Amino acid sequence: MPAPDSIPHRPAVALFDLDGTLTRRDTLLPFLFGYLLRHPKRMWRLWRLPLALAAYLALDRDRGKLKSRMIRMVMQGDSRSSIGAWTDSFAGTLKARRRLRAGALAALEAHRAAGDHLVLLSASPDLYVPGIGRLLGFERTLCTEIQWRGDRLDGALETPNRRGAEKTRCLLGLRAQYPESPIIAYGNSISDLDHMRSADRALLVNGNAAARRMAAKWAIPTSDWT
């Protein structure tokens, strides 16, 4: 039997959720309203927002449809360069304004030091999530993809909204791509528990009371990151 220090380390896949896990709060609304502040002539488009919210509440509560409608209200038809300029600025402000959790950054650095594969998995859109991933040194980013028409933003969803069961599908895809690596998943909400149950190890961070109860039912440990 080889000595313990001669056994090669198998790098894990460290799978981090974004909103509420790495960040202190949601990122989509600040991203959209920040863009509106840069383009105030688009404010008039928000007259459709109450209608979109009413449709969401009264019909199927499809978060993906609501997300697409909000993005279209604010950005549809704008160029990659215009949106990209705000994306770069927005990603930088998250770190500068301490909107990232110190506990999350510490966990991220611990996995980096261990040589693990760092993957960011988020339901938020690829308008800015890959930029945050690059800023934080993630190896890969998986998130909800948004349609473009050439150089202009359409705003429809290119992929399913990467939440709940869709995150589980992404995790299973990673398992096939990294067959020798255990998967360690971090999330903060009840919807994250769906894919966290399929990980080899998981940690619910900053979950609400309902999420903590569900995590306890499935023997998923919990923690609070400041």
What would the 3-class secondary structure string for 105-156 be? Answer: HHHHHHHHHCCCEEEEEEEEECCCHHHHHHHCCCCEEEEECEEEECCEEEEE
Check pLDDT > 80 for residue 112.
yes
- Compute how many other C-beta atoms are within 10 angstroms of the C-beta atom of residue 200: 12
Cβ(199)–Cβ(178) below 8 Å: no
Cβ(17)–Cβ(121) below 8 Å: yes
Q: Please state the domain count of the chain.
A: 1
What's the farthest any 2 CA atoms get from each other in the chain?
Answer: 71
% helix / strand / coil in the chain, to the nearest 5? 50, 20, 30
Q: Give the end-to-end CA distance of the chain in Å, rounded to a whole number.
A: 43
Cβ(216)–Cβ(196) below 8 Å: no
> What pLDDT was estimated at residue 60?
79
pLDDT category of residue 4 using cuts at 50, 70 and 90? very low
Is-above-0.85 flag for pTM? yes
Tokens of 73: 């209200």
CATH code at 22?
A: 3.40.50.1000
Cα within 13 Å of Cα(122), Cβ side:
27
The CA-atom distances, in angstroms, between 143 and each of 17, 51, 161, 195 are 10, 26, 8, 14
- Summarised one tens digit per residue, pLDDT across range 27-38 is 999 999 999 999
The domain in which residue 142 lies consists of: 4-223
Check pLDDT > 70 for residue 5.
no
Q: What percent of the chain has pLDDT over 90?
A: 80
Check pLDDT > 90 for residue 66.
yes
- Summarised one tens digit per residue, pLDDT across range 183-223 is 999 999 999 999 999 999 999 999 999 999 999 999 999 99
> What pLDDT was estimated at residue 56?
78
